[in-house]
């Protein structure tokens, strides 16, 4: 039996493991994928400083570090249930039951889908799937692709696909429907893109992003937005085209697009079929918190964190005894933040099991580091992330003041 | 959006938007009842693809879905496993 079980071998899980193993705790990490690293494995981009962020190398560094410590990484292990009896967690997997007094849930995020008529055809995938195929498995996704959905995640991955020589013909919006809301409205989309920092699709948006925060200027920009789209390294972003339907017999053969106005209303008679052999749907990310929910953790709905998030403290503890969380399960942010949060969680667990001044000092430093990384972060998947974090801090305070939080039923 | 609302929401169980809409209207049901009546979100993937969309759709159909509670409860098993694994025989 290990002293701590970590679910998820991504940036948060690996960093958490290293932090608590450095204080002598025996750690087991389990992960569903065939190799450790999580979403780091797919990441490759240039930072505004000019430096490259090579996620695969970052993952390798972390994995090498785990090898010098009492950390056991088990891949290909899926958790289907988690329960607490007396002082221990029982984690049920396809490889048997794992027992541990502490558990760190670092399961990351999942992608929002945007249903578009024809989205069940082979050749339609989430944008994240195209990233995994390209950067992890090194498989060519197709010859001619269309991305539906314009957000920060879409542009980050578009850039990676372009570097790999994968041809993306255009980026368009999903057509307005009861299921797609903000993501179908060019004005709303432009508002989000102005927050995208160096990943913004053109110099105009990048340098003019301050100006573009002014509503009237944004409206004007949309009015004069080029019909053919704005080029992002050769791929046009077409904010005034919407995907009506993905068509094909046995697999994707094309996408029916229509011209839309600034509010996303379809202009009739403008429908036209564009050829494609694959389609990536980019709906953004949400915290993957199913295990925390099964364990009985209370949740808070905070859109600025990406949706329903398990209630947690700054130290990454939940109201459930012995259960900690870190990484995107607590809110959608970059891998660097996940690493910093993982360290906090690892140290908090070390504190919980053997409180001493030295660990506490490291914990305080780790907490500061999270703030530092967040402030320095060139992009945010959610522009209002800091507000979301603050909202969660208030929730935790309120719940703590309700009393009895200290290791009792919530 | 197709005029006839035949767009599939739950891919595993092939449940369309109009089926969800009609069922919600006819039975004035809770999120859970809507799921059980249509099987939306109950397929092989365990709702990992359509759950957030179902949550959205349900909020549109059924008012007073409380904000903080997750509309559809998560229940084990959260991954597809064999009866053998759950039962402990591990064949």
Assess if residue A169 is contained within a domain. Answer: yes
Per-residue pLDDT, A403: 57
Higher pLDDT, B28 or A288: A288
Q: Which of A280, A315, A333 is the last residue of a domain?
A: A280
If asked whether residues A205 and A252 sit together in one domain, one would say: yes
Tell me the C-alpha distance between B29 and B21, whole Å: 11
Residue B4: pLDDT over 60: no
What would the pLDDT profile of A36-90 be if each residue is shown by its tens digit?
A: 999 999 999 888 788 899 999 999 999 999 999 999 999 999 999 999 999 999 9
Triad A389, A192, A142: Cα angle to 5°: 110
* Candidates B71, B78, B85, partner chain A, best to mutate (most A CBs within 10 A): B78
B87 or A60, which is more confident? Answer: A60
Q: A404 pLDDT exceeds 50?
A: no
B79 and A175 in contact by Cβ < 8 A? no
User: What confidence score (pLDDT) does residue A230 get?
Assistant: 82
Distance between B85 CA and the closest CA of chain A, angstroms = 6
Range 45-74 of B in CB contact (< 8 A) with A: 48-50, 52-53, 56-57, 60, 67-70, 73-74
Domain that holds residue A28: 4-111+285-401
User: How far apart are the CA of B17 and the nearest CA of chain A, in angstroms?
Assistant: 9
B70/A81 touch (CB, cutoff 8 Å), yes or no: no
Predicted pLDDT at A227:
75
A75 and A175 fall within a common domain: no
Whole-number Å distance between alpha carbons of A106 and A287: 10
Residue A386 sits in the same domain as residue A326: yes
As a whole number, mean pLDDT of residues A185-197 equals 80
Contact A313, A346 (CB under 8 A): no
How far is residue A289's CA from residue A272's CA, in Å, rounded to a whole number?
40
Over A90-122, what HEC string results? EEEECCEEEEECEEEECCCEEECCCCCCCCCCC
Give the count of alpha carbons within 13 A of A261, CB side only.
Answer: 5
Say whether pLDDT at A397 is over 50: yes
Average pLDDT over residues A165-189: 90
What ipTM goes with this model? Answer: 0.89
Residue A107: list chain B partners with CB under 8 A. Answer: none
Nearest chain B Cα distance for residue A97, angstroms: 10
Task: Kindly state whether residues A239 and A314 are assigned to the same domain.
Answer: no
pLDDT digits (tens, 9 = 90+) for A349-360: 999 998 889 999
Tell whether the model's pLDDT for residue B8 goes beyond 50: yes
Q: A187 and A139 in one domain?
A: yes
pLDDT at residue B5 above 80? no
Rounded Cα gap, residues A181 and A264, in angstroms: 10
Residue A350 lies in a domain: yes
Q: How many structural domains is chain B composed of?
A: 1
Q: In the prediction, which pLDDT does A143 show?
A: 96
Judgement on whether residues A229 and A128 belong to the same structural domain of the protein:
yes
The predicted pLDDT at position B64 comes to 65
The answer to whether residue A253 sits within a structural domain is yes
Which residues of chain A are within 8 Å of residue B81 when distances are taken between CB atoms?
78, 80, 94
- Does B34 map to a domain? yes
pLDDT tens for each residue of A289-328: 999 999 999 999 999 999 999 999 999 999 999 999 999 9
Contacts of A89 in chain B (CB under 8 A): none
Does B84 lie at the interface with A, CB-CB under 8 angstroms?
no
The pLDDT tens digits for A86-145 are 999 999 999 999 999 999 999 999 999 999 999 999 999 999 999 999 999 999 999 999
Mutate to test the interface with B, among A8, A97, A115, A247 (most CBs of B within 10 A): A115
Confirm whether A407 is domain-assigned: no
Instruction: Tell me the average pLDDT of chain A.
Output: 91
Domain boundary among A253, A280, A307: A280
Structure tokens at A384: 């209002």
**B25 close contact with A: CB closer than 8 A:** no
Confidence of residue B44 (pLDDT cuts 50, 70, 90): confident
- Residues of chain A above pLDDT 70, percent: 93
| Residue A407, pLDDT above cutoff 50 | no
For the ranges A134-143, A200-209, A278-287, B45-54, which has the lowest average pLDDT? Answer: A200-209
Q: Is the pLDDT of residue B46 over 90?
A: no
Inside any domain, residue B41: yes
Residue B3 lies in a domain: no
Q: What is the CATH number of the domain that holds A197?
A: 3.50.50.60
Confidence of residue A408 (pLDDT cuts 50, 70, 90): very low
- How far apart (Å, rounded) are the C-alpha atoms in residues A79 and B81? 10
Do A103 and A246 lie in one domain? The reply is no
B77 within domain boundaries: yes
User: Are A182 and A166 found together in one domain?
Assistant: yes
B78: chain A residues, CB-CB within 8 Å: 79-81, 290-291, 294
- Looking at the complex, report in whole angstroms how far the Cα of residue B60 sits from the nearest Cα belonging to chain A: 8
Cβ pair B78:A299 closer than 8 A:
no
How sure is the predictor about A194, in pLDDT bands with cuts at 50, 70 and 90?
A: confident
Q: Do B53 and A115 touch (CB under 8 A)?
A: yes
Q: Are residues A250 and A167 in the same domain?
A: yes
Of A235, A262, A280, the domain-final residue: A280
pLDDT at position B14, please? Answer: 94
Note the pLDDT tens digit of each residue in A229-274: 888 888 999 999 999 999 999 999 999 999 999 889 999 999 999 9
Q: Is residue B31 part of a domain?
A: yes
Residue span of the structural domain in which B43 resides: 8-87
Q: What is the pLDDT of residues B15-39, one digit of tens each?
A: 999 999 999 889 988 888 899 999 9
pLDDT for B12 equals 94
A239 plus A133 within the same structural domain: yes
Does residue A219 sit in the same domain as residue A342?
Answer: no
Residues whose CB is less than 8 angstroms from the CB of residue A330 and which lie 6 or more positions away in sequence, other chains included: A287, A305, A309, A310, A312, A316, A341, A392
* pLDDT at position A47: 81
Q: Which residues in chain B are closer than 8 Å to A96, comparing Cβ atoms?
A: 90
Give the pLDDT of residue A209. 58
What's the whole-number average pLDDT of chain B? 83
The answer as to whether A116 is a domain residue is: no
The answer as to whether B2 is a domain residue is no
Same domain (yes/no): A258, A144: yes
Contact A229, A170 (CB under 8 A): yes
Q: Is residue A381 within 8 Å of residue A284, measured between CB atoms?
A: yes
Instruction: Provide the strand spans (E) within A9-60.
Output: 27-31, 44-46, 52-54
Is residue A360 a part of any domain in this protein? yes
The tally of domains found in chain A comes to: 2
Question: Nearest CA to CA, how far is A73 from chain B (Å)?
Answer: 20
The string of pLDDT tens digits covering residues B53-73 is 888 888 777 766 667 777 778
Residue A381 has pLDDT above 90, yes or no: no
Position A119 in a domain: no
B contacts of A300 (beta carbons < 8 Å): 68
What pLDDT sits at residue B29?
A: 82
């Amino acid at each position: 039996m290990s002293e701590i079980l970590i679910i998820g071998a991504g940036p948060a899980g690996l960093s958490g493991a290293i932090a608590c193993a450095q204080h002598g705790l025996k750690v087991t990490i389990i992960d569903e994928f065939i190799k450790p690293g999580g979403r780091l494995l797919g990441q490759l981009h240039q930072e505004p400083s000019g430096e490259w962020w090579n996620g695969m190398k970052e993952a390798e560094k972390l994995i090498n570090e785990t090898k010098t410590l009492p950390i056991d990484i088990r891949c290909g292990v899926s958790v289907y249930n988690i329960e607490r009896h007396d002082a221990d967690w029982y984690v049920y997997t396809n490889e048997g039951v794992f027992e541990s007094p502490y558990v760190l849930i670092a399961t990351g995020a999942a992608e929002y889908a945007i249903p578009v008529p024809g989205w069940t055809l082979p050749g339609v995938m989430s944008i994240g799937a195209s990233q995994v195929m390209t950067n992890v498995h090194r498989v060519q996704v197709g010859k001619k692709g269309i991305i539906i959905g314009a957000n920060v995640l879409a542009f980050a991955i578009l850039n990676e696909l372009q570097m790999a020589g994968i041809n993306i013909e255009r980026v368009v919006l999903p057509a307005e429907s009861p299921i797609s809301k903000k993501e179908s409205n060019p004005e709303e989309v432009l508002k989000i893109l102005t927050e995208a920092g160096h990943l913004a699709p053109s110099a105009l948006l990048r340098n003019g992003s301050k100006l573009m925060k002014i509503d009237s200027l944004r409206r004007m920009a949309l009015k004069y937005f080029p019909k053919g789209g704005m080029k992002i390294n050769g791929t046009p972003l077409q904010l005034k085209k919407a995907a009506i339907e993905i068509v094909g017999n046995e697999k994707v053969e094309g996408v029916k697009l229509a011209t839309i106005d600034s509010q996303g209303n379809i202009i009739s008679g403008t429908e036209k079929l564009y050829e494609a052999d694959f389609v990536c749907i980019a709906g953004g990310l949400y915290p993957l918190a199913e295990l925390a929910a099964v364990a009985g953790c209370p949740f808070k709905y905070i859109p600025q964190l990406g949706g329903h998030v398990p209630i947690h403290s700054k130290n990454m503890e939940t109201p459930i005894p012995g259960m900690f969380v870190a990484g995107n399960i607590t809110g959608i942010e970059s891998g660097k933040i996940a690493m910093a949060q993982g360290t906090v969680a690892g140290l908090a667990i070390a504190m919980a099991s053997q409180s001493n001044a030295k660990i506490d000092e490291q914990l305080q430093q780790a907490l500061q580091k999270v703030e530092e990384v967040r402030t320095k972060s060139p992009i945010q998947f959610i522009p209002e992330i800091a507000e979301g974090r603050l909202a969660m801090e208030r929730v935790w305070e309120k719940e703590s003041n309700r009393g009895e939080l200290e290791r009792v039923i919530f | 959006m197709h005029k006839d609302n035949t767009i599939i929401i739950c891919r595993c169980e092939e449940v369309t938007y109009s089926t969800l809409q009609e069922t919600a209207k006819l039975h004035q049901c809770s999120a859970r009842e809507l799921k059980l009546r249509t099987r939306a979100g109950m397929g092989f993937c365990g709702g990992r693809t359509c759950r957030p969309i179902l949550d959205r759709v349900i909020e549109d159909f059924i008012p007073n879905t409380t904000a903080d509670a997750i509309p559809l409860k998560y229940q084990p098993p959260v991954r597809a496993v064999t009866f053998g694994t759950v039962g402990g025989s591990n064949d």
